[in-house]
A and B are shown apart, each in its own frame.
Chain A
Amino acid sequence: DIQMTQSPSTLSASVGDRVTITCRASQSISSWLAWYQQKPGKAPKLLINKAASLENGVPSRFSGSGSGTEFTLTISSLQPDDFATYYCQQYKSGDTFGQGTKLEIK
């Protein structure tokens, strides 16, 4: 099975900050990677597909990059609504999620 390792597990930041979350795959997954945002008590929301493709309606301050085994999610200027938990997911072979990154207000 392909394992996904996300870092950091917790990130403290302020409104307006630029933040980056990293996700590493245990083997190459090409660009078959998605990013999700989840708020407490809610289902995850798909933000980015195929490593870098922003879903319709997702603010442009979100961006994704990477291929192979290393990927990043960047939020260019944090807004109050962005404080949530973020997950990566590979879907090249079966599906596997990362452990999550909780983005907290500093």
Chain B
Amino acid sequence: QVQLVQSGAEVKKPGASVKVSCKASGDTFTNYVVHWVRQAPGQSLEWMGWISAGNGNTRYSQDFQGRVTITRDTSATTAYMELGSLRSEDTAVYYCAAKDSGGLRGLDYWGQGTLVTVSS
């Protein structure tokens, strides 16, 4: 099983970028696909994209294409999500979540969430 620990809360101004980290431990990092999901206050879950920790392949939601970049550092067993051109509507809790790269399945493991507040 893998445990995911995310970086702390952030406050950003409109137009800025934010980078959230997700450190994995407890299992072989490169065996997992790490997803990023966000949840605005009182709203549903919104999938942003994923990265294969093994080969670095990525896929992004069209809703975030061009604004989000997901990367990973295998030596640090950490995945990162960077979101640019922030606006107030990006205020949300951002979660990383992981699943085994062996096949199609739901998201077994979740980080604790990182609150990103966008405010002038």
Contacts and interface: CB of A to CB of B under 8 A. Distances in A.
Interface of A: 1, 32, 34-36, 38, 43-46, 48-50, 55, 87, 89, 91-92, 94-100
Sort A-B residue pairs by CB-CB distance and give the 7 closest, nearest first.
A34-B106, A43-B110, A95-B47, A97-B45, A100-B44, A49-B106, A99-B44
B111 interface: yes
- The bracket for how many chain B residues form the interface is 20 to 34
A22 B103 CA distance: 25
A55 B37 CA distance: 21
A97 B105 contact: no
22 contacts: A34-B105, A34-B106, A38-B45, A43-B95, A43-B110, A43-B111, A44-B95, A44-B97, A44-B107, A45-B110, A50-B104, A89-B106, A89-B107, A91-B104, A91-B105, A94-B47, A94-B61, A95-B50, A96-B47, A97-B47, A98-B44, A100-B45
Given A36-B106, A92-B104, A43 B47 contact: no
A55 B107 CA distance: 11
Contacts of B61: 1, 94-95
Contacts of A35: 106
A95 B36 CA distance: 10
Contacts of B113: 43
A97 B104 contact: no
A49 to B, nearest CB: 5
A73 B58 CA distance: 31
B35 interface: yes
A91 B113 CA distance: 21
B67 interface: no
A87 B113 CA distance: 17
Contact of B59 (A48, A87, A94, A99): A94
B112 A1 contact: no
Given A1-B62, A43-B113, A91 B106 contact: yes
